[in-house]
Structure 1
Amino acid sequence: MTKILILYHCEANTGYAIGSLEKVFWSMALRLAGSPDNIHLCYPGYSNGYPGYTPEGFGNFVEFSDRQDATDKIELFASYLKENNINVIFGFDQPVSLPYYKAARLAGVSSFISYWGAPMSSINSGLKLLLKKLDVMRYRHGPDLYIFESEAMRQSAYLGRGVPEEKTALCHLGVDTEKYHPDAEDQYYAHDLFGIPRDKQLLFYSGHFEERKGVRVIAEAANIIAAQRDDIVFILFGNRNDEAAPYQALLNEKSSKQVIFGGYRSDLHRVHRSCKAGIIASTGWDSFTMSSIEMQASGLPLLVSNLQGLRETIVDGETGLLFSPGSAAELAERVQTLLGKAINIKKMSQNAVSRIQSQFSTEIQIQNLTSLTKQQLTRSK
């Protein structure tokens, strides 16, 4: 019988992208274990309350930090595993070695899967990569399988950290296509929400406002576009407090009227439907982001930086266009191309929706994750 513990490295109810993953992991575990009674959840703490995705009456919660190195705390955790006959750990961002691993194995854990939402390492080669591989070989109690959200992330494990390639796997993110889909009734939703004339073409961004996310590049591209035409408006979401201030300062008098900072909202799926395209202009590491598939599911072709996993989010020329990271001039040129006569943007929108629905729905994500985990359980028997 499969008895699985899902282990998180962050507090319960942290929110953000982890929220959708928690529901996916739960669905995967339920398909493997057959009953909530056979599933256990582990968080470092519950100061924000217990998660709401579990059924009423569920009580298999344990509090333990994966970074814990105190022997007594590790022994208590191992006792919990043994007493509940837990034979599978599915952990979030678990590296090749942590202090609790050996105790967990001795307590009866036969299968250990680590799901990664980030790269493990920069890419290495030659002697450095060889030394990394030798280092990984030292640790016998760590994960049996590492699952990544993009091929670029997966390569960071076997071409960076030195994890054997056969111990890595790919499982793309999935999106709720019941929520994110085109809807003609919302074609002017954002226009009316922000008082934008309905004849304007809207370009969409949502995400963090840290420098590597490329908001500066979008602002600089807006300056270029505004000097050429006034029918395009950039609407940017995700800014809190005064995070937009440095980017507002970059705008000139004309472009400041064509860029709107919309803050943090819960209705972005409806905002999408008013837009012509989405933009992800990251300048540092970025991968197969949730926002990329949400936008495409809603019918938005994407303009994305040609970076790592980001390039995996589109089929260049069919569901969007790539541009050089950090190049505002190239982004502006891609905007002109996308909204020009040479490209059938309606067809590109249809391609994006079709690709997401056929390959990147939440149900497909759960199926793939369940299949990968089940294969590992079979190998571990």
Structure 2
Amino acid sequence: MTVTTQAPASHIGLEQIEAAREVIKGRVVRTPTIAAPKLSELTGAEVYIKCENLQFTNSFKDRGALVKLASVSESEARRGVIAMSAGNHAQAVAYHARRLGIPATIVMPEHTPFVKVANTEAFGAEIILSGSGLYEAQTRAVEIAEQRGLVIVHPYDDPLIIAGQGTIALEVLEDVPDLDMIVVPVGGGGLIAGNAIALHALKPSLAVIGVSSAACPSMHAALTGEAVVCSEQTLADGIAVKAPGKLTLPIVKALVSRIMLVDEPAIERAICALLTSQKIVAEGAGAASLAALLTEPEQFRGRKLCLYLSGGNIDPRMLASVVVRGLERDGKIVSLRLTITDQPGVLGRVATILGTSGANILEVFHRRTLLDVPARGATLDLMIETKDKAHALQAISKLETEGFQVSRLEGWGGRVIGAR
């Protein structure tokens, strides 16, 4: 059975994107483009956010998935569709396929976060876990499509998917017509390609900046001719794609001003900034656009720009970890190790000193059996809450003034990084 294909990329233009908008009208969320004054103050740019995390499946993937599914014939719909995805595309295909009465099979990499697998299953799709990444999942999906006669709903390398994602640009320009720039997360390139096409047609002076994870810089490498090495250890798993699309790459090359790379600490800081400043939950890929501003603020200072917050499907456990790490990075949570004499009242003294300094004790771990302390001594590991780094240093100074030997720990229970 031959896998269903679509028209070549040259057939994607503003007309196709406007037609896609008619397909999704009233069937996906017309998400807001909101001003972000606190992020503007933080970065020096006039920042707006396109909140695609507010889609029903919490990512922009709803758009392209629906446009593609709405195009299949009755006979194709009876046989069903198949998609490969690490999560967001899977959920979008499963959700809209159920709404349209189309059987859906989703091939997901074996190590896909549990929350994304569970969410996709909840929409009634058949889930097949296969391979270590999207490339291996795609190979398996193609095999199954040929065996069963299923239509492949590719996550990014399909003209209808690209056109569907491009509908975001139409909404953004309606909301903020005088933008200078948009900043868009980039994996396989479907999102940025569709938006670049629409914006080039409607406002060619507007700069389109792409952002990829430095842990998987496939689009950047494809444009520069560099070899690409991808790591699975990235928060931005939604854009951790080993190779860009064959359709999307020439579009990006022709219409995108630059592809920036951001590292993991910048992505963590962006997730925390969105949560604390805007009360917005973003996954790693969704926060990549803000990570670019935090990484190179001088490149954006004074510009009026829109950040594409592409999704909010982050594992709650991972979000909690990122938030705590952010508080530690800002000095609002500090982990300390004290060497103390093993005598009655010492713990009380420590608690009193910290209390009078205004620090709050969150965790205590008291150990007597470590061989690197005297037999009559003990170590006391503390996690304390402070206002900021200066306040933390004040609390540590008070402990040292009272005769305690204090070392900072790199994270709770982590290695000693020296006094202070």
Same fold (TM over 0.5): no
Structure (1/2) with the larger strand percentage: 2
Query: Is the radius of gyration larger for structure 1 or structure 2?
Result: 2
- TM-score, normalization by structure 2: 0.29
